[in-house]
Amino acid sequence: MFIGLLEAMRPRQWTKNVFVFAAIAFGQRFGDSGAVVWSLAAFVIFCFLSSSVYLVNDAVDAEQDRQHPTKRTRPIASGRLPVAVAVPVAVLLAAFSFVLARAINPGFMVCAALYLVLNLLYSFWLKRVVILDVILVAIFFVLRAAAGAEAINVEISRWLIICTLTLALFIVLSKRRHELVLLDVNASAHRVSLTEYSPYLLDQMISVATASTLMAYVLYTVDPRTTDAFGRAFASVDASPFIYTIPCVIFGIFRYLYLIHQKGKGGDPDRIVLSDRPFFVNLLIWMGIVGVVIHLS
pLDDT at 93 (0 to 100): 94
* Residue 160: CB atoms within 10 Å: 22
Give the span between the Cα atoms of 180 and 270, in whole angstroms: 19
Give the span between the Cα atoms of 86 and 76, in whole angstroms: 8
Cα angle: 145, vertex 276, 143; to 5 degrees: 10
Q: Are 155 and 244 in contact, with CB atoms under 8 Å apart?
A: no
Regarding pTM above 0.85, the answer is: yes
Q: Helix 33-60 crosses helix 106-124 at what angle (to 10 degrees)? A: 20
pLDDT at 297 over 80: no
What phi and psi values does residue 30 have, to the nearest 5 degrees? -65, -25
* Longest Cα separation, the chain: 63
Amino acid found at 149: A
Give the span between the Cα atoms of 151 and 132, in whole angstroms: 28
Give the span between the Cα atoms of 78 and 129, in whole angstroms: 27
Rg of the chain over Cα atoms, rounded to whole angstroms, equals: 20
Q: Are 111 and 96 in contact, with CB atoms under 8 Å apart?
A: no
Q: What is the pLDDT of residues 195-230, one digit of tens each?
A: 888 889 999 999 999 999 999 999 988 888 888 877
Q: CA nearest 27: which of 210, 241, 297?
A: 297
H runs (alpha helix) in the chain: 2-8, 22-26, 33-60, 62-65, 75-78, 83-104, 106-124, 132-151, 158-183, 187-190, 199-222, 224-230, 246-263, 269-275, 277-296
Give the mean pLDDT of 238-250.
Answer: 86
pLDDT at 191 (0 to 100): 63
**Most confidently modeled range among 71-85, 108-122, 251-265:** 108-122
Please give the residue that has the higher pLDDT: either 43 or 231.
Answer: 43
